[in-house]
Structure 1
């Protein structure tokens, strides 16, 4: 079995919650895309990262069913683990920095696969949602405190690869920030925390806590 680490990305202040991420630190052990896809499907995480060059931050990202040009929480997790100033993904170069308990990346919302961003009137409505039938990637959100930029959100991939609800979705947070053009403090899933901040020229910073699970 290929060696891999498991991180939890976008954890709550006490260290709980967060989205599990598989990271194969030595991507050369599985150089072929088909083999990487098979391992990602076997592991079953929302995403699995293969590190192709740890010094330059070159990574390759897979869901259980497809390869991604970019994804938010895998980049935050990989940036924290590799401790590099940037990552290189097929979509482009992702800036990275550490700031106390938070790891931040800077990316463009349009790099991510499209999500349906659906606003609800109250957080209670978001909490009450049932997993929808397979279909579009749904990011359900509502203001908890609009003046403070606090958002309640849940993510439903709907892509039929066995993941009914995504605990923390960095790409959707980037897209929502790009749409609203303001900094956000997002609580997603059971209690994961994602922070965002718009930057000049359409870039967005995305940050969160990362813990090494095993």
Structure 2
């Protein structure tokens, strides 16, 4: 089924986060504007599984920026692309999460969040010899845990080619754009990065002296039809 034919329940916005420079690609995100309609964790988990996006955000307080994040198989205390998307959609400067406050800002066509690397779920950051090796991957290599496969496209310019494989027990085989992994890689390398991930999504990062990392990208509403 094409994206334009995809049906979602009314009251859910579908975004694409970390679009490429041409406005294509990006990672799909569901945003439930009124989290009160799904108050208990079981109801939220069931809806996230039914939608099948990499993550779904439930907005519990749009003014304070209190949000709750679920993948199809588990709840997350922090994730990058849901927070970039929610900050853009709700025009928020602060998002409240169990790990702490995440600050957000708009800069032209980019939305940025600031977070700490220790908030992100652990990823294996595996460096490959070339961007061509990354593109040649046909699926997740054997192993457990989240894998972020990356290689330099242009080390001097901070340009990286990457792909992410959650390798977790839900429906997501490969993440098109993974803000948490980009944050971890930027922190490990200690430098700003311009990452091309998946089919052509773009993620920008900028580490700060206080140990935080900014992650930014473009966001747009996806063309979907609501089911009423």
Fold in common (TM above 0.5): yes
Q: Could you tell me whether the CA contact under 8 Å between 1:19 and 1:168 is conserved in 2?
A: yes
- Does residue 36 in structure 1 map to residue 44 in structure 2? yes
Instruction: Note the alpha carbon deviations across 1:15-39, whole angstroms, 9 max, x for none.
Output: 1000000000010111111100000
Inter-partner Cα distance in structure 2 for 1:210 and 1:2 = 20
Runs (5+) with no aligned partner, structure 1 = none
Secondary structure at the counterpart of residue 64 of structure 2: coil
Please point out which of 162, 166, 175 is paired with 1:166.
175
1:152 maps to 161
Q: Could you tell me whether the CA contact under 8 Å between 1:134 and 1:159 is conserved in 2?
A: no
State the 1:2 CA deviation.
5.7
Inter-partner Cα distance in structure 2 for 1:161 and 1:2 = 24
Secondary structure at the counterpart of residue 155 of structure 1: strand
Inter-partner Cα distance in structure 1 for 2:155 and 2:209 = 22
The count of corresponding residues between Structure 1 and Structure 2 is 214
Please point out which of 140, 144, 150 is paired with 2:149.
140
Secondary structure at the counterpart of residue 187 of structure 1: strand
Inter-partner Cα distance in structure 2 for 1:167 and 1:124 = 17
- Does residue 27 in structure 1 map to residue 27 in structure 2? no
Q: Which segments of structure 1 move beyond 3 Å, counting only runs of 4 or more?
A: none
Please point out which of 199, 202, 205 is paired with 2:208.
199
Which residues of 2 match residues 108-123 of structure 1 at below 5 A? 108-123=116-131
Inter-partner Cα distance in structure 1 for 2:22 and 2:148 = 25
Quickly say closer, same or farther: Cα 1:32–1:134, change in 2 above 3 A.
farther
TM-score by length of 2: 0.92
State the 1:130 CA deviation.
2.3
Inter-partner Cα distance in structure 2 for 1:160 and 1:35 = 19
Q: Please give the root-mean-square deviation of Cα atoms over the aligned residues, in Å.
A: 1.0
Inter-partner Cα distance in structure 2 for 1:53 and 1:158 = 32
